[in-house]
C-alpha cells in the first residue's frame, strides 16, 4: 500500500530500532488435537471477518484542526474550563492545539501498542503449547500487521501529527517480550495492553463522531481486538483452572500490579505538555488530580478488571492495590467472554458529550 508520509513519526530516545533480549521455548504440538471448540470458533470468526486496509476510503479529507476549532468557537473552551479546571485559563488557540496534540498522542500510542501486539503474538505462535492456540495467534498476527498499517498511514498521511512511543508503554512492552513464560505474554498483551486499548477505542469513537475515516478504522479494529482479548481469556482460563503455586501466583500478581501502574502513568500525557511548551510538572499534577482526567484513566480499566476476576487473578493482593486507585468498581462488569464488545462507560460518555457542547437528556 503506497501513501505519502507527510509527517514521519518522531523517534524515542532509544533510536530508530530497539533490540529486546528474550529467551523462551518454541513448542511443537505433534498431536494437533484442535479440540478446543471455543478457540477454533474464534479462529473461524477471525478468518471470516478479515479486512483489507486498502478497502478503507483514504480519499476522505481529515482536517481535525477545523473540526476542533469549530467546537472551540461554539463554546467548548468555556465548557473545558469548567469541567477540566486546567492550571490556567487557556486561550482558544491553545485549546485547539491541546486537543489536536492529545488526539495525536492517543492514536500514536495505539500504533506503538499494535506493533507490540504484532511482536508478542508472533511469540505466542512459537511458544503456545497447543495447536489451536497457534492457529488463532497466527490469524492475530495478520490482524496486528494490518492495525499497524492503518494507524501509521492515518498518522503520517492524513493527520500529519504524531508522537514517539511513551516511555511507560515502551517499558511494559519490553517486559512482555523479554519474559520467557508463554502465559505471561498472554497476560501482558492480551489481557492488560489490549484490554485497556479496547476500552480506549470506545472513547475515540465517542470523541470523534464527526471524523468518518477514524470512525471506520476504529470500528474495524475494535472487532478484531474484542476477539483478541477473548482469546487471551479463554487460553489462560484453561491454564489457570488447574491452579498456580504460591510462588507462580505471586509473580503474576506482581506483574499485574506493575503493568497497571505503567499503563496508568502512560496516560498522564507528559509528551503533550512538553510539545506545548508548558511546565510539565504542573500539568502532570493536574492530570493526576482533576476529576475528568483521573476518571478517564480509571475507566480505561473497565474491561481488564472483570477479565482478571474471571481468571482468578483479582486476588486479595491485587484487590488491595486496585482499591487504592479506584478500579474495583469494575469487578462486576461483564468480562470479555460474557460480552466481547465494549463501549465507554456512561459517566465518561456524558462528560465527553458536554465537552462537545451537546445537549444532555433530562434525568
Which residues are within 8 A (CB) of 201 and not within 5 positions of it... i.e. 6 or more apart? 110, 218, 221, 222, 225, 342
d(CA 133, CA 240): 15
Provide the whole-model pTM: 0.91
d(CA 77, CA 287): 18
Residue 361 has pLDDT above 50, yes or no: no
What pLDDT is stored for residue 347 in this prediction? 65
d(CA 122, CA 22): 13
What pLDDT is stored for residue 297 in this prediction? 84
Residue 118 DSSP code: H
Averaged pLDDT for residues 334-356: 73
For 254-306, give the DSSP string: HHHHHHHHHHHHHTT-HHHHHHHT--HHHHHHHHHHSHHHHHHHHHTTTTHHH
- For the stretch 192-251, pLDDT in tens is 999 999 888 877 887 788 899 999 999 999 999 999 999 999 989 988 887 889 999 999
d(CA 178, CA 28): 21
- Residue 254 sits at φ, ψ, to 5 deg, of -60, -40
- For the stretch 295-323, pLDDT in tens is 778 888 989 999 999 999 999 999 999 99
d(CA 254, CA 252): 5
d(CA 220, CA 205): 11
The listed CATH number (1.20.1260.10, 3.30.70.600, 3.90.380.10, 1.10.760.10) that belongs to domain 37-49+62-355: 1.20.1260.10
Amino acid at each position: 500500500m503506497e501513501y505519502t508520509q507527510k509527517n514521519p513519526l518522531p523517534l524515542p530516545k532509544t533510536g530508530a530500532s530497539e533490540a529486546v533480549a528474550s529467551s523462551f521455548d518454541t513448542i511443537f504440538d505433534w498431536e494437533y488435537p484442535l479440540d478446543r471448540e471455543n478457540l477454533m470458533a474464534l479462529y473461524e470468526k477471525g478468518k471470516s471477518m478479515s479486512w483489507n486496509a486498502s478497502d478503507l476510503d483514504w480519499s476522505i479529507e481529515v482536517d481535525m484542526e477545523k473540526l476542533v476549532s469549530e467546537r472551540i468557537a461554539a463554546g467548548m473552551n468555556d465548557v473545558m474550563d469548567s469541567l477540566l479546571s486546567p492550571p490556567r485559563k487557556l486561550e482558544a488557540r491553545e485549546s485547539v492545539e491541546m486537543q489536536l496534540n492529545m488526539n495525536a498522542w492517543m492514536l500514536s500510542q495505539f500504533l506503538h501498542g499494535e506493533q507490540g501486539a504484532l511482536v508478542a503474538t508472533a511469540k505466542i505462535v512459537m511458544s503456545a503449547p497447543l495447536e489451536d492456540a497457534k492457529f488463532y495467534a497466527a490469524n492475530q498476527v495478520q490482524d496486528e500487521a494490518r492495525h499497524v498499517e492503518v494507524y501509521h498511514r492515518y498518522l503520517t498521511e492524513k493527520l500529519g501529527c504524531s508522537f514517539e512511543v511513551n516511555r511507560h508503554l515502551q517499558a511494559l512492552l519490553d517486559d512482555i517480550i523479554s519474559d520467557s513464560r508463554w502465559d505471561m505474554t498472554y497476560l501482558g498483551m492480551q489481557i492488560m495492553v489490549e484490554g485497556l486499548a479496547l476500552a480506549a477505542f470506545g472513547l475515540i469513537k465517542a470523541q470523534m463522531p464527526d471524523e468518518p475515516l477514524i470512525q471506520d478504522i476504529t470500528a474495524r479494529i475494535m472487532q478484531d481486538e474484542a476477539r483478541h482479548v477473548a482469546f487471551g481469556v479463554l487460553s489462560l482460563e484453561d491454564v489457570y483452572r488447574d491452579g498456580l503455586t504460591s510462588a507462580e501466583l505471586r509473580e503474576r500478581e506482581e506483574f499485574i500490579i506493575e503493568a497497571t501502574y505503567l499503563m496508568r502513568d502512560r496516560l498522564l500525557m507528559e509528551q503533550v505538555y512538553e510539545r506545548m511548551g508548558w511546565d510539565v510538572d504542573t500539568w502532570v499534577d493536574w492530570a493526576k488530580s482533576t476529576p475528568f482526567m483521573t476518571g478517564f484513566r480509571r475507566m480505561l480499566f473497565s474491561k481488564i478488571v472483570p477479565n482478571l476476576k474471571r481468571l482468578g487473578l483479582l486476588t486479595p493482593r491485587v484487590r488491595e492495590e486496585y482499591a487504592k486507585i479506584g478500579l474495583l468498581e469494575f469487578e462486576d462488569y461483564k468480562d470479555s467472554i460474557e460480552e466481547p464488545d465494549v463501549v465507554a462507560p456512561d459517566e465518561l460518555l456524558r462528560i465527553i458529550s458536554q465537552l462537545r457542547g451537546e445537549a444532555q437528556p433530562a434525568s
